C-alpha cells in the first residue's frame, strides 16, 4: 500500500488504540497529552516514511515511536513527572522505576474497554457521549463528527470539550470495570454504541462513506465487549446481531443518486449474506440466560426482515416482536412501525385505526405511513397525508420518496 493511503488507514485502526493505552496510564486529566503524543507519532511516520520508505512492520514502528516519545516526554517534563508519575502504574522493578508503555494486544484491549466505560458515563448527555466516543474511541476529527451530526465545527468542538471537562470534574477513573460496575453501567455503554450505530445507519448526511464508518466503529466497539468475558453478555450479542442484520442491507437502501429505496423495493441480491449469517450467530449467542432486552427484540425484527419471502408467518413473527417491544420499552416510532406489520397481518383498516391513535402530528413518517395505508382505500385522504408529510420532511431524500408516492397515486387515479 502506498504511503498516502497507508497512514490514514493506520490512523483509523491504531490511533485510538495507542491513545487508550496512554489515557489508561495517565488518567482522565491528561487526555490531551496522550493525544498530542500519538498525533506527533503519526506526524513522524508521515515525514520519515516519505524519505526512508515504509518500514517492514508499520504498526510495530508506530508502537515503538509512541513508546519512545512518551518516555522522552516524561523525562523532559518536570511538572508532569513530579505531579503525575507517582500516580500512574509502574510495571518495572522498583530499582529501575521506568514506566513501561505496554502496547501488547491484551493491554490494548483492556485499555480500550476501560475507555469505553469512561466515555459512556451518564454524567454527560447522549449527544455528548456519542461525540466523545467518535473522538476518543474511534479517532474521528472535528470535521468528520460535524459532518455526521450535520452541525458546524464550533458546536461539535464545544460539545466534546464540555464532555471532557465534565469527566474531569467528576474525576472519573479510567480503569477496567469490575463486575459490579459492568452490571451498573453496561446499559449506558450499549445505549451509546446503539446510538452511534443509529447515527450512521439513519443519518441524513449524504456522505455514504462516513455513514458506513460510523456503523463499522459501533460494531467494532461492540465486538470489543464480546471479546471480554465480563462484558460478553446476552444483550451485547443481541446488539451485535441487530447491527449485523441492519448492515447486511446497507447497499440496498440507497440508489446511486442518494435516493432512499424502501424495504419492499430493495434489490435483494445486494443483501450481504455473510453479515446475515454473522447476525444469526450472534442472535443465537444472545439467547443464553434469562435476559430479554430491547436489542433482542429489535434483532429479531431485523432478522425477519432478512427473510426474502413475503409470507404471513414472517409478518406474524414481526408483529409479535413489536408487541413485546412496545411493552418492554415503549417508543412512538416503534409503535408506528408496528402498525405497518399490523397492516400485513390483519389488513389496512385495522392498521389505520391503530396508527391514528398515535397522533404523531409532527412526524413526516406518520403521515407517509397513513398515505400508504389509505392509498388503496381513499385516494383523497392518501394524497392529503402525503402532502402533509412533504411539508414536514427535512431531507431531500425523504421529500423525493414522498413526491414519488404522490406521482404514482395521481397516475393511478
CA 183 vs. chain centroid, Å, equals 21
Cell of 15: 490511533
pLDDT digits (tens, 9 = 90+) for 344-360: 999 999 999 999 999 99
Q: How many CB atoms lie within 10 A of CB 218?
A: 29
Q: Which residues pair with 254 in a beta bridge?
A: 260
- Residue 328: pLDDT over 80: yes
Query: 74 and 81 in contact (C-beta within 8 Å)?
Result: yes
What confidence score (pLDDT) does residue 229 get? 92
pLDDT category at 184 given cuts 50, 70, 90 is confident
| Length of the chain as a residue count | 413
Q: How far, in Å, CA of 298 to CA of 325, rounded?
A: 8
Average the pLDDT over 76-86 and give the result: 62
Rounded Cα distance between 189 and 112, Å, is: 13
pTM of the model: 0.85
Counting DSSP H helices and E strands in the chain, the numbers are: 19, 0
pLDDT confidence band for 77 (50 / 70 / 90)? confident
Rounded to whole angstroms, the Cα distance separating 283 from 281 reads: 5
305-325 pLDDT, tens digit per residue, is 999 899 999 999 999 999 999
Amino acid at each position: 500500500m502506498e504511503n498516502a493511503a497507508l497512514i490514514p488507514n493506520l490512523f483509523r485502526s491504531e490511533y485510538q488504540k495507542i491513545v487508550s493505552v496512554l489515557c489508561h496510564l495517565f488518567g482522565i486529566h491528561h487526555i490531551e497529552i496522550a493525544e498530542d503524543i500519538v498525533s506527533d507519532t503519526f506526524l513522524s511516520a508521515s515525514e520519515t516514511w516519505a524519505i526512508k520508505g515504509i518500514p517492514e512492520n508499520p504498526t510495530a514502528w508506530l508502537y515503538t515511536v509512541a513508546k519512545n516519545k512518551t518516555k522522552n516526554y516524561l523525562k523532559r517534563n518536570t511538572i508532569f513527572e513530579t505531579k503525575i508519575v507517582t500516580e500512574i502504574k509502574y510495571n518495572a522493578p522498583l530499582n529501575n522505576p521506568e514506566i513501561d508503555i505496554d502496547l501488547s494486544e491484551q493491554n490494548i484491549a483492556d485499555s480500550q474497554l476501560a475507555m469505553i466505560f469512561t466515555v459512556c458515563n451518564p454524567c454527560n448527555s447522549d449527544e455528548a457521549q456519542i461525540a466523545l466516543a467518535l473522538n476518543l474511541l474511534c479517532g474521528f476529527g472535528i470535521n468528520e463528527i460535524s459532518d455526521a451530526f450535520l452541525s458546524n465545527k464550533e458546536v461539535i468542538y464545544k460539545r466534546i470539550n464540555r464532555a471532557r471537562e465534565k469527566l474531569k470534574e467528576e474525576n472519573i477513573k479510567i480503569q477496567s470495570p469490575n463486575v459490579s460496575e459492568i452490571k451498573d453501567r453496561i446499559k449506558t455503554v450499549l445505549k451509546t454504541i446503539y446510538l452511534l450505530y443509529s447515527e450512521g445507519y439513519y443519518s441524513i448526511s449524504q456522505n455514504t462513506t462516513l455513514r458506513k464508518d460510523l456503523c463499522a466503529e459501533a460494531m467494532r466497539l461492540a465486538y470489543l465487549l464480546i471479546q471480554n468475558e465480563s462484558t460478553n453478555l446476552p444483550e451485547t450479542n443481541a446488539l451485535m446481531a441487530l447491527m449485523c442484520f441492519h448492515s447486511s442491507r446497507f447497499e440496498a437502501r440507497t440508489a446511486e443518486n442518494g435516493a432512499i429505496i424502501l424495504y419492499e423495493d430493495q434489490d435483494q441480491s445486494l443483501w450481504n449474506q455473510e453479515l446475515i449469517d454473522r447476525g444469526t450467530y450472534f442472535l443465537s449467542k444472545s439467547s443464553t440466560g434469562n435476559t430479554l432486552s430491547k436489542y433482542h427484540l429489535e434483532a429479531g425484527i431485523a432478522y425477519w426482515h432478512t427473510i426474502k419471502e413475503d409470507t404471513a408467518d414472517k409478518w406474524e413473527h414481526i408483529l409479535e416482536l413489536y408487541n413485546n417491544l412496545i411493552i418492554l420499552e415503549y417508543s412512538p416510532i416503534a409503535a408506528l412501525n408496528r402498525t405497518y406489520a399490523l397492516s400485513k397481518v390483519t389488513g389496512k383498516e385495522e392498521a389505520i385505526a391503530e396508527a391514528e391513535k398515535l397522533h404523531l402530528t409532527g412526524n413526516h413518517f406518520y403521515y407517509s405511513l397513513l398515505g400508504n395505508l389509505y392509498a388503496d382505500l381513499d385516494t383523497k385522504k392518501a394524497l392529503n397525508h402525503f402532502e402533509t408529510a412533504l411539508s414536514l420532511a427535512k431531507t431531500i431524500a425523504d421529500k423525493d420518496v414522498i413526491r414519488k408516492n404522490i406521482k404514482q397515486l395521481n397516475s393511478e387515479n
